[in-house]
A and B are shown apart, each in its own frame.
Chain A
Amino acid sequence: MSQDTFHAVSNFFTGLGESAAAQKELARYDQTILFHIGNEQPFCIRIAGGKVSPEIGGATDKIESVDDFLRLLLLKTDAETIAALMAGSVTLGETLLEGTVDIHGNIQKEYIIAWLSRLFQRTER
């Protein structure tokens, strides 16, 4: 099973920490983003205090408490779409509208979606 996407996504998020503006944006929320990319093994990007820790597996997709719900974002997509998001050729909002990205609780976690969208676009609020 390929781990190409894991490495690409890990590099993207760890690379964000090199820019002061993106670092400030990263530090806005603590969040574990659990990626399900096609048939690849799930992986997560943990963001805490602005620090990024990628991990294969590493997070359960079970939400059993308010804390789980607030700290965990479940994102399903395909390798092509995640590559386009990282390249900035499409926004997270556009992919949600197209249905190529699915986020659990997208009505309740719009503040995290907007934050993640800015990270993908390398912009800040």
Chain B
Amino acid sequence: MSLYIAEFMEGARNFYRYFNVKRGDHVLLVPTSEFVYSDPLALEALTAAAREIGAEPLIFIITKPRGRQLPEVHPEPLTRALMACDLFLGLGIDPPNPISGHCVAALTARWDHGVKQADLAAGRGKVLATEWARFPPEKIFAMGRRLFRSLEKARAVHVTSPNGTDLIVDYDPYLITGSLTVPALEYGYATAGMRATYPLGVLGFLSDVGTQGKAVLDCLSGHVGKLDHPVNWTVKENRVTDIAGGEEAARVRAEIEGLENADYIALITIGLNPKARLWEGLMSGRHGEAQRHEGVVRIALGDRPGGNNSPMHGVSGEILDATVEVNGELIVDRGRLPVLREITE
């Protein structure tokens, strides 16, 4: 199916609104050469939408694939450009982002210069032309504010699912993350130094040591589609202490064995975007779109972003049809978000 640039423009404009890009801002687009070949209209749309605002877009093409080992080193001209711009966006096909959140240059750009870092979510390209990229960021913020009002009153949520998940997640409400943070909710856009993946659609918890119970995962990163047999994670003190459930469980055990903090739950997210497609999203190895689908609960292993011993490619998995309860309120009800109905009405 042929697409036209007009179909990418709404997604591109939403992107710049979320990141609060203004006239005179320098926007650095960092595509892989594969992305330039596969998704040229996205680059055209991002360039055109930046110019509509009066921002100054620049493109730096990455020709060498990102390595899987830390430290992640980029050429000096790119490193300097990351520090000098106001916002940079990594664009890849799969893996999605040529500049990771663990990259020293990216962290220095954010922490010392207040540069915003964006990633385009994993997929097979043409993401900006999809319905989930067109879903307005203002509605994501509205949902986030409503959810935060419930989450602020508690320090734990209870996650259950029909196939046996029974997990208590211990969290600090002021440390919610993902597309939404407390400062971003306050200001109504991504604040300086913030990193987020686009298209939008997750609210994340940095789970703490009180997290415990059982998570029964319907899907796992690296596996296309839903698992034939769910994988069970036993969680104690925010670490996965046992993994059970067939071949996929064995694969995960092997992947994390011997890696420091690879058993640590770094992040638990709830998908917020009703236009993100679940089944199409599960067709890519990283499940980028599926994670953002309304009501999907994702659990990601690995140390905190910026952690010195972080496994660079952590394991994650999703629970479909989850129910999430906080203080007696169901903020996710069998995979649906009541708050979405509220803001729509």
The answer to whether B112 and A66 have CB atoms under 8 Å apart is no
User: Which of B182, B186, B193, B308 is in CB contact (< 8 Å) with A110?
Assistant: B193
Chain B residues near A117 (CB-CB < 8 A) = 111-113
Cβ-defined contact, A93 with B111, below 8 A: yes
Q: Place the interface of chain A in its size category.
A: 20 to 34
CB < 8 Å neighbour of B193 from A94, A97, A99, A113? A113
A93, A107, A117 pick with most chain B CB within 10 angstroms: A107
Q: Find residues 32-78 in chain A having any chain B CB closer than 8 Å to their own CB.
A: 63, 66, 69-70
Residues of B with C-beta under 8 A to A106? 306
Residues of chain B within 8 A of A107, CB atoms compared:
175, 177, 181, 206, 304-306
Which chain A positions have C-beta within 8 A of B194? 110-111
Task: Given A70-B186, A91-B108, A108-B183, answer yes or no on A99-B114 (Cβ-Cβ < 8 Å).
Answer: no
Question: How distant is B332 from chain A, measured CB to nearest CB, in Å?
Answer: 22
A54 vs B300: C-alpha distance when bound (angstroms): 41
B130 at the interface (CB under 8 A from A): no
B111: chain A residues at CB < 8 Å are 91-93, 96-97, 110, 113-114, 117
Number of B residues near A (Cβ < 8 Å) is: 27
Pairwise interchain contact A97-B175, C-beta atoms closer than 8 A:
no
- Docked complex Cα distance between A70 and B185 (Å): 11
Q: How far is the CA of A13 from the CA of B186 in the complex (A)?
A: 27
Residues of B within 8 A of A114 (CB): 110-114, 192-193
The one of A94, A99, A108 in contact with B174, judged by C-beta atoms closer than 8 angstroms, is A108
Given contacts A93-B107, A97-B104, A125-B114, contact A110 B175 (CB under 8 A): no
Closest to A66 in B: B182
Residue on B nearest A95 in the bound complex, by CB: B111
CA distance A107 to B180 in the complex (A): 11
Complex contact B306–A96 (CB within 8 A): yes
User: When each residue 206-240 of chain B gets 1 if its CB lies under 8 Å from chain A and 0 otherwise, what string results?
Assistant: 10000000000000000000000000000000000
Contact with A along B176-191 (1 / 0, CB 8 A): 1100011100100001
Task: Verify if B280 is at the interface (C-beta below 8 Å from A).
Answer: no
- Measured in the bound complex, the distance between the Cα atoms of B320 and A116 in whole Å is 42
User: How far is A70 from B104 in the complex, measured between Cα atoms in Å?
Assistant: 26
**A89-125: contact bitstring with B at CB < 8 Å (1 yes, 0 no)?**
0011110110100000111111101110110010001
Interchain CB contact under 8 A, A111 and B306: no
Smallest Cβ-Cβ distance to A69: which chain B residue: B174
Besides the contacts A93-B112, A107-B304, what 9 more A-B pairs have beta carbons closer than 8 Å? A70-B182, A70-B183, A92-B112, A93-B110, A93-B111, A105-B174, A110-B114, A114-B113, A114-B192
The 10 closest A-B pairs by CB, nearest first: A110-B193, A114-B114, A93-B111, A93-B112, A111-B192, A111-B191, A69-B174, A108-B181, A93-B108, A117-B112
